[in-house]
Chains A and B, each alone.
Chain A
């Protein structure tokens, strides 16, 4: 039954990565803007929900939702003021500026909350173990899998089944043609950016049990988020789900079965995957 444990652990981990990274995938695909500061929104979400829960007695999910709202709003504001002037500036300027934003976020969180990771604010109903018949399993991880699946389903309907989604996909595939057809790509992008940041904030908040919240969060997990984006394919929602689950499963399987390889396994496989499919697992049409 070890295989089920590996599957559950890997999927739970992958779901957290998915919730946080999906916004980054879509925004990078849409505007080709390299937003390295995406993880800062997830970190902010984690801090905000913790403050909400501890100081204002918000329930766990309520705290995460408030964090999502605030992160979304801040994301929208940042898009209009900081990111928009960057679109035409080229990748180097984007990398420098967004990297600078990471440092600002690290410094401000250190100033407010100190350098040690903050205490987890897990509610009682998530703390225990559930009997799955063949073993007992932490409730929290099952909760992550459930929430991740629900969000994936919701995003599937928004992106693949709604008019908004059709316009979004069209703009990712061919922004020039989309504009010519009268789609307001700028507005679309602002909305997507807000959504992506809100999801990051939400993911940071509920995923705090797996990725502990501390000032260096934005930098520490940046590579993982970028791997999800690259493996999945820029701009591909389905790709980011597949990539996040793959990263989660590979990391977890490696730790169970080949612990002496450490984190090499993941990088080997990423390396191989990119040689095989340089544009990611499920790239949008514009990339190929």
Chain B
């Protein structure tokens, strides 16, 4: 008798767990949680947790389980982890991806497995062309320069000096900006590619200062290099000479305290302004502070993670927990929603994001360094894709 009860109990347990599994949607989030790019992993995770705090961890009865894996920014590791997520964990979605090589590393795999990958950050233009199962909710770096020419025209700026890090996104930005200012007759008085490892920017700023441009436009990876380059701009006296510094993600709010007051007045073209008052952004910031303390500051990665979750939640709500890769991609094409950044949508053809680009300036408000919007260029599609309709 005891044995039968025990058997029944086991059977019941097995049944219960299998039905629970059927009701669970797994998401594999691959990002660097260690190494020099660990900041991305933690920003993604905090935003995902904030999203789940607000919207709950289940959609119409289906539990949403996010599995975090540390790829340390390494493409090979990312591919291995993606394989493990797909084969062993049977995830419905892959997401995360901080740097471009991480996303590129899984392109063949997701095409073969028909598992969609939602990109929360990686910015090279080409990525979404590498697999029909990529959907990007972050940005394409080529779009960052979109508001710069308009600002040059408004401020009657006639000359610019370009300093970019010597790697693919840096080259993309250099091209995009040169292209953008050519049409409006702005003179590029100098353009320099700096080794990625550079942290002493004195010689570059010295040369830039001698060329006497009205604006120095920079593109370097956020972190140690971005902080050093902005400081050097001020230290070399370029700021005192009245030259303006412009860039993109270098001056996200999270990095401003480390740069110090020298950064005030820096202009940037970017897709997310941390201080904007969209209800979604207010909600994101409030939830982050509730969960992680008053110093929690959202950045582009947080916005990407929040919107990535939104897209997956919406898909599960509409298509159910058994949503397939193809159904999801069809669902994502052309979809539009309110992001913490403002209105965004997914390009129906390219599966890449269409969003506003904001021209911001760093100011000190109530003793805090923040970005303030000056101008908005609405609904920017990735300019590289428009210029290269067939490139793969």
Binding site for B on A (CB under 8 A): 5-6, 9, 13, 107, 110, 114-120, 127, 129, 136, 138, 140-141, 209-212, 214, 216, 220, 251-252, 255-256, 259-260, 262-263
Contacts and interface: CB of A to CB of B under 8 A. Distances in A.
Nearest to B204: A255
Contacts, number: 86
B260 A119 contact: yes
B235 A117 contact: no
A160 B257 CA distance: 45
Nearest to B237: A129
Interface stretch (B79-87, B223-231, B312-320): B223-231
B194 A9 contact: no
A115 B257 contact: no
Contact of A256 (B198, B206, B228, B237): B206
Contacts of A214: 223-224
B310 interface: no
B222 to A, nearest CB: 9
Given A120-B231, A129-B237, A209-B231, A13 B193 contact: no
A212 B202 contact: no
A13 B36 CA distance: 24
Contacts of A118: 258
Contact of A138 (B195, B236, B257): B236
A117 B258 contact: yes
Contacts of A107: 34
A115 B36 contact: yes
7 contacts: A9-B206, A110-B38, A116-B254, A120-B260, A211-B200, A220-B224, A256-B207
Given A9-B203, A136-B237, A138-B236, A263 B197 contact: yes
Nearest to A224: B197
A210 B199 contact: yes
Contacts of A117: 223-224, 227-228, 258
B151 interface: no
B255 A116 contact: yes
B57 interface: no
A252 B202 contact: yes
A141 B198 CA distance: 17
Nearest to A138: B235
Interface string B223-259: 1100110010001110010000000000000110111
A220 B35 CA distance: 12
Contacts of B199: 210-212, 220
Given A259-B192, A263-B195, A115 B38 contact: yes
B195 to A, nearest CB: 4
Contacts of B257: 119
B339 to A, nearest CB: 24
B18 to A, nearest CB: 40
B109 interface: no
